[in-house]
Structure 1
Amino acid sequence: MNKNILLSLVVGLSCSLSACSDWVDIKTKGKLIPEETVNYRYLMNNTENFKYTLAYHDVASDDINMSDETQQNAVYETDKFIPIYTWADEIYSQSENDQEMNAVYQVIYNCNVVIDEVMGSKNGTQAEKLSIRAEALVHRADAYLALVNVYGKPYNTATAATDQGVPLLTTPRVEGSLPRASVERVYEQIISDLNDAFEYLPDVPQFNFYPSKCAVYALKARAYLLMGNYTEAKANAVEALKLQSGLENLNLYIGDAVTYPENLKDKEVILAKMPRTTFSLTSYSAVDLVLSDGLLNLFDRDYDLRYLYFTRPMSELGVEYTGRIYFKNHLYNSSYPKYESRSMGPSVPEMMLIEAECWAREGKTTEAMNILNTLREYRFSPDEYYTLSAATATEALGHVLQERRKELMCRGLRWMDQRRLTNDPDFPTQTVTRVFKGTTYTLQPGAVRYTFPMGELYLEENPEIGQIE
């Protein structure tokens, strides 16, 4: 029955609300009694309801490579790491829920409740209601941008109108059919939500969990980049940077004299989003992503502080496995689980790199390299040579894409880059090969497995979703 799948995607709303003692007025079928505007504010202020995004696709990207045989053998056969890492045709069996997708659709359900009902609530001003609704619109747009770039086909201007995206839910219903919307339709909804929210948000938030005008610009810049619309991507990245442009100077943190600021206190984070990760910590932790030589070889290993500070030998975790891991999560002095400290939302460096890439694609070499070297100034010791130069726009673009890969590692963006660059004329996505437990796996550019398969449980309940082949 269709009702079952919808419930499995949005189940837990009332449970998630229980974390907020001030949340009341729950009525049947997930609807809220439209009484007090303040109740909707309580909901928006509870980060548990809106903070999660997707992260499993980091494991599938070419930035990750677990080559240590002992560690491979320690991974449980039931761990979702294996099918994701090996680009399997099936990740979830008929009895398993996709916990990551469920978490993000629950964010969407929470947003839909607010968007649908807050304007009819009582004892709140029109401005308060519009502000609350705007925040929900931004969270919904972020959720769909993540979903369509993992479970939908990559954006292709020529085919986006017919390419399959993801189920698009814009009302808080708990039953009904779940056909996939087209990729184009999902992106239209994302941009529409962001535009609709813009007017009613502050320029920058008091805390980076809250949506803002800066976050709207940043998410639009990310979306347009993934669409290949470099004019709009650059324009929105520039506007985002006018509102927030602070960078962390890594020289201040080398030697662990000062604890690196956690996600919610990092001045580079524009909108804080965290992964919903459940890999077994006793066999392989998703936070401790083993970095590939292809990524590590891009760094100046002697002077690049990102390599020296944000990556470390596996041995620093007290294990015997070889390889170098993404270590930034372990630098926080935070009560959050380590995996939740990974910053997956848009950031100042991402906006700088989007702007630089768009300049390079326009043939403006000087503009692109100036931005790149401004960022690198904060990533190298002052007495070390960090300046890059480029004789051509193509060379500048190459530098930007390499810098993007280093700067934004383990934030969910490399997988999206591999998808969008498949047919890039100068820097096309390369074939990825990895060996796991004696078997060689290969992922060709443009392969269907660049789109994650839907869980068999969902297809059984709602066959209209369909599997992308």
Structure 2
Amino acid sequence: MLRSITSWLLCAMLIIFASCNKKEFLEQNPDSNIFIPTTLEDCQALLDNETVMNESPVLGEVAADNFFISTTFWNTLTPREKNAYIWHPNSFEGMVANVVDWNSPYKQVFYANVVLQAVESIEITSSNEVKWKEVKGQAFFARAHAFYQIAQLFAPVFSSKNPESIPGIVLRLQPEVDEISLRSSLEVTYRQIIHDLKEAARFLSNDIPLLNRNRSSKPAALGLLARTFLSMDDYNQALKYADSCLQLYPTLIKYDTLTIGPNSNQFNKFNPETIYQSRFVTTNVLRAISVSSCVVDSSLYRSYETNDLRKAVFFRVNSQNTINPKSSYNGTNQLFTGIATDEIYLIRAECNARLGNVSEAMEDLNTLLEHRWRISAFRPLTVHNDEEALDSILAHRRKELPFRGLRWTDLRRLNKNGANIILKRWINNKDYELRPGDLRYTFLIPPDVISFTGMQQNPR
């Protein structure tokens, strides 16, 4: 790990472990002052630390087009969130260090590497083989998930044209902290993510841990593979893994069975659509119902039809008659960023549409919509060709997955392919605009990392 951040990571690790003394699951190495897991129980406890392992960066969502905020509220934000909201060319102007959107996922990488190293020293027996595989698979998944999240912010959008010559992200594959790691290429970055997820799928169980959805499973690994390949425009592979995921876990919620209140969250973290549970890192902007200053984009809100229950489930009208996000599959005001079956249905539908399989694409879309509509009012959508199918699927992807940490990646990949989506802001009586292909679709690497390592910064 980069030396400029590993000391912070290790200190944070010690603090977290110190707060978990009741578990007494780790021994201290007297030579290094680092706690080292020595049993599978140690490793599982490390991976189960939700405050570390189940968080995702938020900057992409702050920079996306799901919501707007007023100048008054913008002035209360941290420099990190202020800059992201207006796509400031210097992403972290006013900050010196501790960019949580970089540090948090790299901390997860460190934990995963500690576990992957530890399990290799634990003998496999007939009594622990299942647990050994589960722990190893969870660690591979955690590392891949972190690398993927980092790549969506700090590496350019994936391109099949010369990806070997485009800088990707730092790939740390060992827990040792006595070396400086520089950026891998975009090709190597995505190759590593895919490798780790395939390894995770090889070791993990087919069954989702229903009472521990913070833990990964084979469906979670397959779902993240589908998401990864979609971000790479590899529709054949994305289709393959989305289908494999849904073969194992196809569950959807019928929204018509929910008790929908004007201010209540209809879900909890154990809701049956959730394959893998994660949430945004701490943010002053995106905290669902508790932040009335986060106003949902009016064109998005108006796009829902009368009998589409997502409008009432996802949003609320506040006392100022503006729209706020309301519900999250996380069950709290910390918005959900995990993997759920609705996203996987949409991936499979989009890939089928792009590959010319119109009937299969529309079957998936209509299956999802039937679970979102008032039952008495639902009528299957029909289209005439693959272009109409794709347009309809992308429109419903927009309506199904707002505030899930997916829109920024969608904007990057869709604009790369000619969608021509232009983002606009109005702050302090000034217009801001982000056009397709703008270099600001890739965030700068935090300045302390650059100053210490001298690694290549993203261009502006």
Counterpart CA distance in 2 for 1:104 and 1:165 is 15
Query: Residue 439 of structure 2 aligns with which residue?
Result: 448
SS at match of 2:169: strand
SS at match of 2:106: helix
Q: Which runs of 5+ in 2 are unaligned?
A: none
Counterpart CA distance in 2 for 1:286 and 1:187 is 36
Q: 1:306 aligns with which of 305, 310, 321?
A: 310
Query: Residue 422 of structure 2 aligns with which residue?
Result: 431
1:13 equivalent to 2:13? Answer: yes
Change in 2 beyond 3 A, CA 1:126/1:366? closer
Deviation per CA, 1:315-351, whole angstroms, max 9, x where unpaired?
A: 3xxxx4x53121114x98x6x5x22xx2211210111
Q: 1:415 aligns with which of 408, 416, 439?
A: 408
SS at match of 2:28: coil
Counterpart CA distance in 2 for 1:367 and 1:89 is 43
Counterpart CA distance in 2 for 1:286 and 1:81 is 15
TM-fit CA distance, 1:462? 2.0
Q: 2:451 aligns with which of 438, 454, 460?
A: 460
Amino acid at match of 1:180: R
Deviation per CA, 1:225-251, whole angstroms, max 9, x where unpaired?
A: 011110010010011001111111111
SS at match of 2:96: coil
Counterpart CA distance in 2 for 1:281 and 1:227 is 27
Give the 5 Å matches for 1:253-264: 253-256=258-261, 260-263=266-269
TM-fit CA distance, 1:16? 2.2
Q: 1:176 aligns with which of 174, 179, 186?
A: 179
Would you say the 8 A contact 2:102–2:446 is kept in 1? no
SS at match of 2:377: coil
Query: Residue 323 of structure 1 aligns with which residue?
Result: 322
Would you say the 8 A contact 2:292–2:318 is kept in 1? no
Query: Residue 58 of structure 2 aligns with which residue?
Result: 55
Change in 2 beyond 3 A, CA 1:16/1:251? same
Counterpart CA distance in 2 for 1:237 and 1:463 is 39
Counterpart CA distance in 1 for 2:374 and 2:358 is 25
Would you say the 8 A contact 1:248–1:268 is kept in 2? yes
Deviation per CA, 1:272-310, whole angstroms, max 9, x where unpaired?
A: 11111232799x97797422133223221x221111221
Counterpart CA distance in 1 for 2:327 and 2:403 is 10
Would you say the 8 A contact 1:63–1:294 is kept in 2? no
Counterpart CA distance in 2 for 1:215 and 1:400 is 22
Counterpart CA distance in 1 for 2:169 and 2:292 is 27
Query: What CA RMSD, in Å, does the superposition of the two structures yield over aligned residues?
Result: 2.6
Change in 2 beyond 3 A, CA 1:281/1:246? closer
TM-fit CA distance, 1:79? 4.6
Q: 1:217 aligns with which of 213, 217, 222?
A: 222
Counterpart CA distance in 1 for 2:184 and 2:81 is 28
Q: 2:140 aligns with which of 137, 157, 160?
A: 137
Change in 2 beyond 3 A, CA 1:344/1:168? same
Counterpart CA distance in 1 for 2:9 and 2:293 is 28
Change in 2 beyond 3 A, CA 1:48/1:414? same
Amino acid at match of 1:449: R
Deviation per CA, 1:49-92, whole angstroms, max 9, x where unpaired?
A: 311112221111122223x45545xx326453211110012232
Query: Residue 28 of structure 2 aligns with which residue?
Result: 26
Counterpart CA distance in 1 for 2:246 and 2:25 is 36
The number of residues matched between the two structures is: 450
Counterpart CA distance in 2 for 1:241 and 1:97 is 39
Counterpart CA distance in 1 for 2:380 and 2:24 is 53
Change in 2 beyond 3 A, CA 1:281/1:433? closer
Q: 1:293 aligns with which of 290, 298, 305?
A: 298
Amino acid at match of 1:393: D
Q: 2:249 aligns with which of 244, 251, 264?
A: 244
TM-fit CA distance, 1:356? 0.4
Counterpart CA distance in 2 for 1:215 and 1:238 is 12
Counterpart CA distance in 1 for 2:266 and 2:316 is 15
Amino acid at match of 1:453: L
Change in 2 beyond 3 A, CA 1:29/1:147? farther
State the identity as a percent: 26
Change in 2 beyond 3 A, CA 1:287/1:96? farther
Amino acid at match of 1:165: G
TM-fit CA distance, 1:438? 0.7
Change in 2 beyond 3 A, CA 1:14/1:189? same
Q: Which runs of 5+ in 1 are unaligned?
A: none
Change in 2 beyond 3 A, CA 1:353/1:279? same
Counterpart CA distance in 2 for 1:181 and 1:30 is 30
Change in 2 beyond 3 A, CA 1:255/1:430? closer
Counterpart CA distance in 1 for 2:424 and 2:322 is 17
1:208 equivalent to 2:213? Answer: yes
Counterpart CA distance in 1 for 2:37 and 2:97 is 35
- Could you tell which deviates more after superposition, 360-369 or 217-226? 360-369
Counterpart CA distance in 1 for 2:251 and 2:134 is 25
